[in-house]
Structure 1
Amino acid sequence: MELPANHFVEVIEALSDSELRVKLTDVQTDIETNRSYWALIDMNMKTITKTNDAAAEEMPTEYWEAESPTGKWTAAWGTNTPGIWGISTDTGDKTQWTDSDGDRNPLWLSDGSGFYYLHSTGVNLGDGAGFEATLAHYDLAARKSTILTYEKGFWGGLNWLIPDVSIVASNGFDDVIGLKMINLLDGTEKQIIETSHLDYVDDLIDEKTGRLLISDHGKFTWYDGKGDIVNQMDWPVDLDEFTRKNPNYSEDGNPYEHPFYEKGVKGGRVGPHGLKSSPDGNYLSYLLGAIGESIDDKVPGVKMVVSKIDGTDPALVLDDYVRMDRDYVWSPSSKRIFIVFSTDAARERAYVGEIPIE
């Protein structure tokens, strides 16, 4: 389905197997006016209807919030106010919970009794890395923080892998991607990946299985909540002419000099990216082909691959290679994937397409 001329999609949300909610931006509208608006797309009726949805008021870039699972509290923090603050949903009253300048990223426990967060030690790491941090726990009833005995250093952020049990923490800085696993039950931390192969690395937290998937150059690797490898397999090959393996590829080689795919030799970057799991937990999807866009590309964009959730039985589900970014979305039923794309023949136009999943 063709979008209006000179429009691109900022946000795409699947409401059903046929209806989408999208945020569109008109690039020809004066930048001082409201260039963006919400619309509903009906894929069956082929209609686009502008809605009256108010554009969400954007939070200041230096301020963040995280609502508790019970809905009783919101944890708020920012670069201009020391510590993490609690905001009561009922009264709007604010209470300071932690007081270190640089405390951030609260992960609520599932019962709302407290949260884990990054505690700032006050030591400036320099080189733009900000404050040294470590993991801490805040008990809401006791109004007490406990600094835990994990590594101190650069921590970029936290995400639950298994709620209340294990945390995936980013600790890569500058030109390094780093992820480590924190297991709260046994108090361990394990470095999962630390690499400068920025273009060839992607990750996915799969909530249904409680596993972390890392796509690094040439390999898919699944980790459990303790950071142990539970499965590993090569990237798919011979799905079509663009996915032939480079005969000179070496696992220990430089991916930019000896890439995994033959079409990446002296060309653009080629590989899987944009990992997503289906809502029902049965499928893994990703884009396969050109990563980004380069004048050296030998692959004309990307196709999409859908496999079983463990990566087996990969299959291409697009007839043609198209130009698209990572922002595609599964339908709630897991029976459709909706994509926003353009073609080499009409790069100035954007289209919304659907891929049925049998």
Structure 2
Amino acid sequence: MASVFASVPGAVLDGERLRHAGNPLVEQRSLANGSAVAPLGDRAVLAVSGEDRLSWLDSLTSQALTRLHPGESTELLVLDPNGRIEHAAAVIDDGETTWLVVDRGDAEPLLAWLRKMRFRLRVDPRDASDEYAVIGGTPAGLAGVEPAAPSGVPLRWIDPWPAVSAGGVGYALVQPHPAQERDWSEVVVTREEEQRLAGAAAAGEIALAGLVAADALRVAAWRPRWSAEVDDRALPHETDWLRTAVHLDKGCYRGQETVAKVHNLGHPPRRLIALHLDGSDTVLPEPGASVLAGDDVIGVVTSVALHYEDGPIALALVRRSAPSDADLTVQTPDGPIAAAQETIVPPEAGKAAQVPRLPRIGARR
């Protein structure tokens, strides 16, 4: 199927997705200052209707949702029994339906899992991506975009990152957080509104930014994403995702025991760091590239971007014991790239509970 954005001057497409509109660095600046919007063709929209939807999702996921008000934004994770991340979603409820904005690669498996978990409850999850698209940007930039409102509540999701949500905890110690001034929203729009925006962009009436620009702003904000930072052993603690996606004081859900144990009694086995890459050779590593301290492989790159102010940057997951002050290199087919690291999740993250030490049997008093 041809993309509705194919007629936009300078458009570079990946299937139906707009990668960029000719100049990703300029698009980043425009997206950040609110003079452009980004069609997020790598997102999908799931809809969960039914009277039991919020209590049902609350019981299955890491987030407290039973008291979610119409129009309020949050996000959730679905964990396996060992606390590893399986799925992630941005969440907004309109009073009749809970809308989940997810990475497109996660939509089908998440929907299949939700349908298996319905039992006799009054819930009906479905894929609504044929009806709706997602547009991202600052609230000011999105002012001219009409959100869908099938039940009268505009489907406008305001990213809670990097604030620490109720019941959450932040591990990053840097102040101010690099995303402190970030102002990011995503609106769910009808396909007709998406077509209107494409026509306006083709006529030069509005400016568009592509997925490359949107992702560069995300990487600079240290914002984890399912399609990038999640593998088959990812724990939410490792990427500082307890900040916005996990409620530590809610009722039971799958994986809760591991979440509590790691946070209160242990440490996450890996931790997310930011990398500032040497850009002298204009070579960027690919996600999955090895990160080395000397000759020791300590982790892998998860996301890479060329930022309009910071230059070549990346996120990487490294083992907890990796030295925080070491000069690092990243392996590429063209040779190693020097990288300066910045700590996101510190080695001491976790172990938050104050457990009293019991005297050893036979110890002298």
Instruction: Calculate the TM-score normalised by the size of structure 1.
Output: 0.24
Q: Which has the higher helix share?
A: 2
Structure label with greater radius of gyration = 1
Report which structure shows greater RCO (CA 8 Å, sep ≥6).
2
Instruction: Calculate the TM-score normalised by the size of structure 2.
Output: 0.23
Q: Which has the higher strand share?
A: 1
